[in-house]
Structure 1
Amino acid sequence: MDVPARLGIAPVARYERRCLSCSLEVYRQDEGGANGGLVRDERRCGVKQASLSPRAWAELSLLALIWGGSFLAIRTALDEIGPLTSVLHRTFWAMLVLWAVVLLRRQPLPRGLRIWGAFWVMGLLNNVLPFSLMAWGQLHIATGLTSIFNAATAIFGVLVAAAVFADERLSLRRGLGVALGFAGVATAIGLDTLTQIDIRSLAQLAVLAGTLSYACAGAWARVHLRGVPPLVAAAGMLTASTLMMGPLAVLVEGPPSLDLSLRSWAAIGYYAVLATALAYLLYYRVLAMAGSGNLLLVTLLIPPVAITLGALLRDEALAPQAYTGFALLALGLLVLDGRIFARGAKRV
């Protein structure tokens, strides 16, 4: 998972470019300076990884455990509710929690058609499409495999940024990382699945389409949500997503039933409140403590957690090719991150 993309984190006002290898804005404003007033802030670049304290390791691992467990929780809820209804629950309850936090922190409320229009597009790209596609996909493929494909968001993010932004060229290092990532995805899918069309192959393509939507959401946020406090942006995005998902879920799957088992409510509470709303707050604690360059470790730890939980609690067994594919994908992410070949990466 590309964490910033999934959360819909927008660049703050004073930053105009991001280092894609560490997913953080590293260019600061220098009025009257060269390069259009932009100067690289080396102190903020995640290529030089900060060392992690035991507490940072603990919170980073906790974040990976929470998000890794969300795949199992979603699959558990899908035993009793439809995929669109599961998404509606996710956006609705998370929205309530985040607005409560916004009010408690006395953050400014968003006003105006422009900003709410941006929230609607962001909600579509970052919640409605990927959540729905991945939830449907999980009905037909293992939770661990879903988590592996989800980790490809960063790979798609590099390609989308290169296509949309003139200052995000596809360098040799990035190209190598993308190639390794796609090789990993293709390996995880398997040659037999690539050469035939059935419900399982369609489910895998749906999950991958969801990761592409996450990547597009990241690009949209960079352009249209710059300067909006991230917590407010997330709450607004989830509000728009809920307003879209409500009619859609009712139309396709019928009115949501509240007469669910305790097991399903626990799963919904987990992935909506803990893994969506509260994990968002924990994400910023980890960001401040560990630095964005180390947040890639969360992306790499999520699939092993999801695979292990799926095997222990749902008796899922992945094919050997899935593990090989994840290894290639992880290698590609490390190349993109700059942990590999970092000495030769003087420019990002």
Structure 2
Amino acid sequence: MNAQQPGGASLLEPRNLAAFILVSLIWGGTWLVIRDQISAVSPTWSICYRFIVAAAGMFMLAKMRGEPFRLGAGAWPWVLALGLFQFSLNFGFVYRAEAYVTSGLVAVIFALLVVPNAVLGKIYLGQPIRREFVIGSSIAAIGVAMLFAQEYRASPATLGEVLLGAALCIGGILSASVANILQATEGAKRQPLLTLLAWSMLCGAVFNGVAALALDGAPQFDPRPEYALGILYLGLAGSVVTFPLYYGLVRKVGAGTAAYSSVVVPVVAMILSTLFEGFVWGPLPAAGAVITLAGMVVAMRGRSAPPPRRATPEP
């Protein structure tokens, strides 16, 4: 890991390392919490509640940081697009994927987000792709295939359900990647970051609320304390706390080094999945996990251009 960004701070400095670990642990835990969120309430209503909380928290944080509530001229197309792709479609696919495959596996697959980011970045932002990135991504894809083979062998789900889970994961990755590229455009960069995120989250909550009314009927809510605490965790810790910490790392140690959280997060998620979901380890899944993460390390070290400055790394 390149812990020292040329001309910048080191990831191993105590404050930076603490922020890196906290972000990785929080995002690693979101996947398991999502699993509980969809146990009794429709995914769309759960996502709506999450981003109502997240938007409120982000507006409060923006005020504390001195950012304006009002956006600049021409901001609303970016707000609406980010609300749709990042905070509605992306999370809609992810929540539904966890109904078919384990949360840890979804987290591992989502580490492949850097692949469509790189492809779309080359097409729309002119960012070149190096050979090492292609090789590393191919290695990671082999590892993911091994994990899915184990999921099919060990899970009571049918092959069709496992493949549906995979397809939903891919839908989430592609939606998030479109949002990442949108956030990297000059029009989005001109907007105050926290304010842009707050309004986009609020629009995402509205989009999800409308979709939930159309698809699932009247609002649903699980009376269990665990459900409400999960909403607060995902909305506040999983969004409001982590985004400023992550972007702070991007500024201090560089986007490439900060992006290594996408390797650590699946490790945390797989450990939690083992403890709470009964994920069964063996030679095949162990090898698949190692190959996937090793491939992602190779891919990120071979990426010649940094990821979009405002890319949203994890659900």
TM over 0.5: yes
Aligned to 1:173: 132
Q: Distance in 2 between matches of 1:267 and 1:210?
A: 21
Q: Taking every aligned residue pair, what percent have the same amino acid on both sides?
A: 20
SS in structure 2 of the partner of residue 114 of structure 1 = coil
Q: Could you say if the C-alpha distance between residues 51 and 124 of structure 1 is closer, same or farther in structure 2, counting changes exceeding 3 Å?
A: closer
Aligned to 1:67: 27
2:249 to 280, 286, 294: 286
Contact 1:50 1:293 in 2 (8 A): no
2:184 to 222, 227, 233: 222
Aligned to 2:310: none
Contact 1:80 1:264 in 2 (8 A): no
Q: Distance in 1 between matches of 2:116 and 2:141?
A: 9
Q: Distance in 2 between matches of 1:347 and 1:245?
A: 31
Aligned to 1:333: 296
2:172 to 191, 210, 215: 210
Aligned to 1:39: none
2:113 to 153, 157, 162: 153
1:32-111 pair list within 5 angstroms: 43=7, 50-111=10-71
Q: Could you say if the C-alpha distance between residues 78 and 320 of structure 1 is closer, same or farther in structure 2, counting changes exceeding 3 Å?
A: farther
Aligned to 1:311: 274
Contact 2:139 2:295 in 1 (8 A): yes
Which structure 1 segments of 5+ residues have no match? 1-20, 27-41
Q: Distance in 2 between matches of 1:205 and 1:273?
A: 29
Contact 2:45 2:220 in 1 (8 A): no
The amino acid that maps onto 1:200 is V
Q: Distance in 1 between matches of 2:278 and 2:148?
A: 20
Contact 1:155 1:181 in 2 (8 A): no
The amino acid that maps onto 1:307 is M
Using the size of structure 1 for normalisation, the TM-score is 0.77
Q: Per-residue deviation at 1:178?
A: 2.7
Q: Distance in 1 between matches of 2:305 and 2:45?
A: 48
The amino acid that maps onto 1:161 is G
2:235 to 272, 280, 294: 272
Q: Distance in 1 between matches of 2:108 and 2:281?
A: 11
Q: Could you say if the C-alpha distance between residues 199 and 230 of structure 1 is closer, same or farther in structure 2, counting changes exceeding 3 Å?
A: same
Matched, 1:123 2:83: yes
Contact 1:50 1:294 in 2 (8 A): no
Q: Distance in 2 between matches of 1:61 and 1:319?
A: 27
Following TM superposition, the consecutive aligned residue runs of length 4 or more in structure 1 with deviations greater than 6 angstroms are 345-348
Q: Distance in 2 between matches of 1:241 and 1:347?
A: 27
The amino acid that maps onto 1:247 is V
The amino acid that maps onto 1:324 is A
Aligned to 1:250: 213
Which structure 2 segments of 5+ residues have no match? 153-157, 308-315
**Deviation larger for 155-164 or 51-60:** 51-60
Contact 2:71 2:195 in 1 (8 A): no
Q: Could you say if the C-alpha distance between residues 222 and 284 of structure 1 is closer, same or farther in structure 2, counting changes exceeding 3 Å?
A: closer
Deviation sequence 1:22-66 (CA, Å, 0-9, x none): 9xxx9xxxxxxxxxxxxxxx646xxxx935123432321111110
Contact 1:156 1:215 in 2 (8 A): yes
Q: Could you say if the C-alpha distance between residues 244 and 286 of structure 1 is closer, same or farther in structure 2, counting changes exceeding 3 Å?
A: same
Contact 1:145 1:318 in 2 (8 A): no
Using the size of structure 2 for normalisation, the TM-score is 0.84
Q: Per-residue deviation at 1:209?
A: 1.7
Number of positions where the alignment pairs a residue of Structure 1 with one of Structure 2: 299
What root-mean-square deviation, in Å, do the aligned CA atoms of Structure 1 and Structure 2 show?
Answer: 3.0
The amino acid that maps onto 1:75 is R
Q: Could you say if the C-alpha distance between residues 201 and 321 of structure 1 is closer, same or farther in structure 2, counting changes exceeding 3 Å?
A: farther
Q: Distance in 1 between matches of 2:238 and 2:295?
A: 26
**Deviation larger for 130-139 or 306-315:** 306-315
